Structure 1
Amino acid sequence: MDFGYAREDDDFRTEAREWLAAHAPYGGDRRAWERALGEAGWIGIGWGEGGYGNRAASLTQQVAWAEEYARSGAPARSGHIGENLLAPTLLAHGTAEQKARFLPPIAAGAELWCQGYSEPGAGSDLAGVRTKAELAPDGAGYVLTGQKIWTSLAHEADWCFVLARTDPESTRHHGLSFLLVPMDQPGRIEVRPIRQLTGTSDFNEVFFDGAYARVEHVVGAPGDGWRVAMSLLGFERGVSTLAQQIGFAQELGRVIRTAVETGAAADPVVRERLVRLWAELRTMRWNALRTLGRSSGDRGAPSVAKLLWAGWHQRLGEAAVQVRGAAASVGPADWSPSTPYELDDAQQLFLFSRADTIYGGSDQVQRTIIAERVLGLPRQPRGSGDRGAA
């Protein structure tokens, strides 16, 4: 596609850059940062004209905003899941009442969301979810029982969209529903942070013990949850992929500078590895630009993008510790058992990137999707491993 920027796009980029320079980085309170973004109209710019409190922006302007945000050093977004996953899903499948209730608070940065998909035993194989949602005796809502895991930002979220089994006799992707569940239900919802190798706890376990969701908060028809959930996953990788690559370029730049400072860049093998990482990152960008305008009709584009960046980021993490040498395997000089262990940037990149080929759909699942849905190859037999393309 022709992805040139018009004068109005450049003006939009300048406005975004100047606003971010005046407001970012924003210290500490991520909820306050979301509200600041909402007040300035920067949340939901890709939703179009809908009267939900957001400003509308063209595709090129959305890219400009995402790139400038990544360059600015602004905080990681707490509202990403509501803005970029739930909101497009509601726009595609929600009722007028659901849109009017949930989109304005997302656009204002006032309500934060988390995603209740993965479970123990139902991660890559999402169709195996066992969380139950039974219709309450009064017929006005559903009562949820079960567990979700790897739930990003659940400890901060006000709401969770949950894929649950509303037909107890159903199996696999049949009989599932997509429910909007308030998190403020003491005694009915418990959130337990998961401590990672990096020392952070952005992921959580979430336990539902009689949690309640109103019937009018089912998105799509009851039993239609699989279609809605798969539609949401299609929204997960779009404009944000280009912004992600800005962050990748910044990480690669730090690795290259470290290689020069430590002398590792004098090694021709290391130089070849760094050049290859740079070339692969450029390839990712051009692939993202090529598919951005037609991703809705290209069923394999999200899976190809995930395969490209996940493995690349893992290799970057390996290079980050390689160019540091022995220093990459030890902590700071003033560390003692009585103080928390602080990872440096290279160590954190290396450890966190180990999960890149697993979360968001493992590499094996992405290859299965491409094989079955794009190339038309025979379906993988059930019981033979990952079945995420079911």
Structure 2
Amino acid sequence: MDFSFGAEDEELRARARAWLTGHLVGPYAQAVGLGGPGSEHEGVGARRDWERELGRGGWIGQGWQEEGYGNRRLSLTGQVVWAEEYAALRAPARVGHIGENLLAPTLIAYGSREQKDRHLPAIARGEELWCQGYSEPGAGSDLAGVRTTAVRDGADGLLRVTGQKIWTSLAREADWCFVLARTEAGSRRHRGLSFLLVRMDQPGRVEVRPIRQMSGTAEFNEVFFDGAVAQEVVGGEGNGWAVAMGLLALERGVSTLVQQIGFAAELERVVKAYAASGAPDPVLRERLVRQWAELRTMRWNALRTLGGAAGDPGAPSVAKLLWGGWHRRLGELAVQVRGAAASAGPGLWAQGDPYELGLDEEQRLFLFTRADTIYGGSDEIQRNIIAERVLGLPKEPR
């Protein structure tokens, strides 16, 4: 396959780079490099303003199948070009990516015209932020175990949501949450679920509690719903599983390539640390070369998938298995290259708060990447999907 970009794409690359360079100034310059997995607490205010700046430039919603909502549509390769330039310039991590890349395409596929007209313009302007209400205690990778319920109120006929969600990124910043809840009493597993849109600003009915991590940060949250009103149902009551699975199929697309640019920067930092160590180790060197080769392979696989294999039900799972394992191995390499110094180092055990570690970049990379093969669908779940939906193997007995 030809993985090069055409003249039109390179022209777009120049325009995108010029726009980003011209707008990453003033307060936005201070937010360069802030945010992202493990660092969502950084510069939230500036990043929210930056979201509106992107909206004014028409850069939100490039991949939507519909236009006319204030978004500019780009070809698939154009989206890749924009994403690569955005990552290369270390523009602030997006606080609106859940609304743009998950909720919006789901509304386009399953929502009503009224729902699209209500929500897509606000997302395209960068004005309304979303979070995802899927995982629960006891229902993480096994999403069919959802126990949060939504019951029609006899007085006003509104759906009222009660239950708990966990590991919810950006819940404190979000204006809305899309929630998978059980709307059919007595239903089990995939049946009786609905995909609901719930406003977060319902005092006394929606409570967000940060989950404190040993790094001292709290990018994840618990969300408690106590009779919260669900304003809308997407795809009809009882069809939530199909909508939820449709959304997850959208989760690994162009964003995979953006992620890999960040991975390349992390790998470069580890390679420089190895070169500066002054004690060449042929085993570590071979592993670093393997990491580089695997990263290149992941890029080609992502481009191949975007170019024609997007309908493959196993493609998202393959991508998750590839990057999750790769990133965890990089975290291990980062501390092994450092040697004994990685287990201590200046400020590892910070003074004051006993739960806060004074971590440097390599130590944080190692600890955070331990979760890469678990969150977003564990490796075991991804292998089951490939086995059952692609290879046609028998399902696991339950």
TM-score, structure 2 as length reference? 0.92
Worse-matched range after superposition: 38-47 or 1-10: 1-10
Q: CA–CA distance in 1 between the matches of 2:372 and 2:378?
A: 8
- Structure-2 residue corresponding to 1:6: 6
1:347 aligns with 2:367: no
How far has the Cα of 1:328 moved from its partner? 1.2
Q: CA–CA distance in 1 between the matches of 2:395 and 2:141?
A: 16
Counterpart of 2:352 in 1: which secondary structure? coil
Alignment of 1:102-117 (within 5 A): 102-117=119-134
- Structure-2 residue corresponding to 1:381: 397
Q: Give CA-to-partner distance per residue, 1:40-75, whole Å, 9 cap, x none.
A: 111111114421111110100100011111111111
- Structure-1 residue corresponding to 2:17: 17
Alignment check: 8 A CA contact 1:176 1:224 kept:
yes
The partner residue of 2:70 within 32, 39, 53 is 53
How far has the Cα of 1:335 moved from its partner? 7.0
The partner residue of 1:252 within 240, 247, 267 is 267
1:195 aligns with 2:212: yes
Alignment of 1:55-94 (within 5 A): 55-94=72-111
- Structure-2 residue corresponding to 1:357: 373
Counterpart of 1:342 in 2: which secondary structure? coil
The partner residue of 1:37 within 54, 78, 88 is 54
Q: CA–CA distance in 2 between the matches of 1:362 and 1:188?
A: 31
Alignment check: 8 A CA contact 1:295 1:302 kept:
no
CA RMSD of aligned residues (A): 1.5
Alignment check: 8 A CA contact 1:122 1:129 kept:
yes
Alignment check: 8 A CA contact 1:197 1:352 kept:
no
1:167 aligns with 2:184: yes
1:147 aligns with 2:164: yes
1:287 aligns with 2:301: yes
- Structure-2 residue corresponding to 1:309: 323
Alignment check: 8 A CA contact 1:53 1:104 kept:
yes
Residue type at the aligned position of 1:327 = A
How far has the Cα of 1:263 moved from its partner? 2.4
Residue type at the aligned position of 1:11 = E
Alignment check: 8 A CA contact 2:347 2:358 kept:
no
Q: CA–CA distance in 1 between the matches of 2:148 and 2:350?
A: 44
Alignment check: 8 A CA contact 1:26 1:33 kept:
no
Q: CA–CA distance in 2 between the matches of 1:282 and 1:41?
A: 31
Counterpart of 2:58 in 1: which secondary structure? coil
Counterpart of 1:297 in 2: which secondary structure? coil
Worse-matched range after superposition: 12-21 or 163-172: 12-21
Q: CA–CA distance in 1 between the matches of 2:163 and 2:378?
A: 23
Q: CA–CA distance in 2 between the matches of 1:305 and 1:369?
A: 12
- Structure-1 residue corresponding to 2:351: 337
Query: Structure 1 residue runs of 4+, over 6 Å off?
Result: none
- In structure 2, relative to structure 1, the CA distance for the partners of 1:141 and 1:334 (3 Å cut) is closer
Alignment check: 8 A CA contact 2:65 2:105 kept:
no
Worse-matched range after superposition: 130-139 or 227-236: 130-139
TM-score, structure 1 as length reference? 0.94
1:297 aligns with 2:308: no
Alignment check: 8 A CA contact 1:178 1:228 kept:
yes
1:270 aligns with 2:284: yes
Q: Give CA-to-partner distance per residue, 1:284-316, whole Å, 9 cap, x none.
A: 111111111234420000000000000000000
Q: Give CA-to-partner distance per residue, 1:198-218, whole Å, 9 cap, x none.
A: 32211100000110012xx10
- Structure-2 residue corresponding to 1:239: 254
Q: Give CA-to-partner distance per residue, 1:228-270, whole Å, 9 cap, x none.
A: 0000000000011111111111110000001111124x11001
Q: Give CA-to-partner distance per residue, 1:341-372, whole Å, 9 cap, x none.
A: 43111011101101000001000000000000
- Structure-2 residue corresponding to 1:179: 196
Q: CA–CA distance in 2 between the matches of 1:198 and 1:333?
A: 12
Residue type at the aligned position of 1:148 = K
Alignment check: 8 A CA contact 1:53 1:107 kept:
yes
Q: Give CA-to-partner distance per residue, 1:112-147, whole Å, 9 cap, x none.
A: 000000000000110000000001224542101000
Stretches of structure 2 lacking an aligned partner (at least 5 in a row): 32-42
Q: Count the aligned residue pairs.
A: 379
1:137 aligns with 2:154: yes
Counterpart of 1:178 in 2: which secondary structure? strand
Alignment check: 8 A CA contact 1:44 1:83 kept:
yes
How far has the Cα of 1:338 moved from its partner? 3.3
Residue type at the aligned position of 1:98 = Q
Residue type at the aligned position of 2:250 = F
- In structure 2, relative to structure 1, the CA distance for the partners of 1:22 and 1:131 (3 Å cut) is same
Q: CA–CA distance in 1 between the matches of 2:194 and 2:3?
A: 38
The partner residue of 1:328 within 323, 342, 346 is 342
Counterpart of 2:370 in 1: which secondary structure? helix
- In structure 2, relative to structure 1, the CA distance for the partners of 1:132 and 1:336 (3 Å cut) is closer
Report percent identity of matched pairs: 70
Residue type at the aligned position of 1:377 = L
